[in-house]
Structure 1
């Protein structure tokens, strides 16, 4: 194991406390335990399981998992193909928001890095900074870069080059705030436009309203959560911005053509999964 302890040097927005990388031995485990910081892991190779919130998930190369502060968790390397992972331990006043923008939450502490992004290469740079005199600042900058990369929507359709910066800003806002109860007024205020003009721009450039785009974002996220076979329907509803599971189910069926339960069963059959793990 290679490991670096750092000193926060007065940083309050985001401070890296430790980084490391490890080729784990078979069945090597950690926890159950509670930490007082966020710890973001990236899996370079191999497999293992991560348990938190009453659920256990098997993870492999290219996936990330986040340990939340003051949350009971444990993880274990696979007995046959143990994982090699790297990690950041961090705190800060901006940490909860950055975690949210990167797509993590208590209900969804795992995500897959898009293969077209540079997440692995960013984690590969960790240990090269150990002898730098300003390693605390450099590691914090690297963590910001990782969050910035992860905040790029991994399932959003590409926008045409001519859609304009107002629509791009609105789309970015919805792709990061989809789990909140955001209104058309909030979207318009964010991009600095009148609501009617914003709706007209969306209709002209994307052939849909901002509300329809937001609904599509939420349904794409819901599909991904349903395919993971880990959360209940009510939990998924809350994770994508619906407080009422029945309203979520109606919107999902109207948009996707199947109920959330039917979609989950279809995905389960297609993946050959007959059950999902629980701790």
Structure 2
């Protein structure tokens, strides 16, 4: 008798915020274990049936149907199927600049890597869709979208009051405002004032609808615009910084590297080499 396992490995497609590296589903044999080991990515597991244990940080927890556990990068961990009723689970392996924040919003921490799900949340069905995407031409994008949906579902507080019917309108309005005014010196207060909401309520709407804060969305808009300008090779770093709403070039450079992973100059040079154009000379 062999354990049943299916994998999907994905190809990198340039996503930086959230990138799915692998997904899979497995029905384990009794006492089947993995570890102790260390991984270089996050791995989110959902238990469909059966039981097992997850050990990390000196703690061991028994996990059963409807629960999730998270493996964090560079953390020693072991997980083992039960002896009498071994578990079946599905998982996502992922990385990205937003990964840590999404994990936090979903209720996971290093000290609390296990959580349950409310019966009213469609987490089971979302994980069940994994292998159906195996042969889709754009499976990388579809799997990433599915993982965002899972995090968005998990981020909804159990005691959250029902959202008003017009919240979608407020979020779209704020998004449109940021897309139009990213080059201006705007912040959370100006965005909330534009849509007529309290700043805290606007932040909650963004977390529930987009799994990020308005500030994060505005930063992503500015960084995407900056990437486009850097690829065009027409402006200096300071000019690009001002073009996307940063008066301080050093602040822009720090934010760009934090978000994109490389400095603006390194990004521009890489784009130059890929396009075969001559380098931009600052005056």
TM bracket, shorter-chain basis = 0.5 to 0.7
What residue is the counterpart of 2:48 in the other structure?
44
In structure 2, how many angstroms separate the alpha carbons of the residues matched to 1:98 and 1:7?
Answer: 22
Question: How many Å separate the matches in 2 of 1:98 and 1:32?
Answer: 26
Residue 141 of structure 2 aligns with which residue? 137
Query: Which structure 1 residue ranges, 5 or more long, are not aligned?
Result: 170-187, 203-279
Match of 1:34 in 2: 38
- Matched with 1:242 is none
1:1-279 superposed matches below 5 A: 1-154=5-158, 156=159, 158-159=161-162, 189=189, 192=192
Q: Normalising by structure 1, what TM-score?
A: 0.58
* Aligned equivalents of 2:98, 2:160: Cα separation in 1: 28
Please give the secondary structure, in 1, of the residue aligned with 2:151. Answer: helix
Q: Which runs of 5+ in 2 are unaligned?
A: 172-187, 202-283
Displacement of 1:158: 2.8
Q: Deviations over 1:234-253 (max 9, x none)?
A: xxxxxxxxxxxxxxxxxxxx
Runs of 4 or more above 6 Å deviation: none
3-state SS, counterpart of residue 51 of structure 1: strand
Q: 1:74 to 1:134 in 2, by over 3 A?
A: same
- Asked which structure has the greater RCO (Cα within 8 Å, sep 6+), the reply is 1
**Counterpart-to-counterpart distance in 2, 1:160 and 1:92:** 29
SS of residue paired to 1:131: coil
Residue deviations 1:90-127, cap 9 Å, x none? Answer: 00011011111111111111111111011110000000
Tell me the C-alpha RMSD between the 2 structures: 2.6
CA distance in 1, matches of 2:164, 2:104: 27
Instruction: Please give the secondary structure, in 1, of the residue aligned with 2:30.
Output: coil
TM-score in terms of structure 2 length = 0.57
Residue deviations 1:79-98 (CA, integer Å, cap 9, x gap) = 00000000000000110111
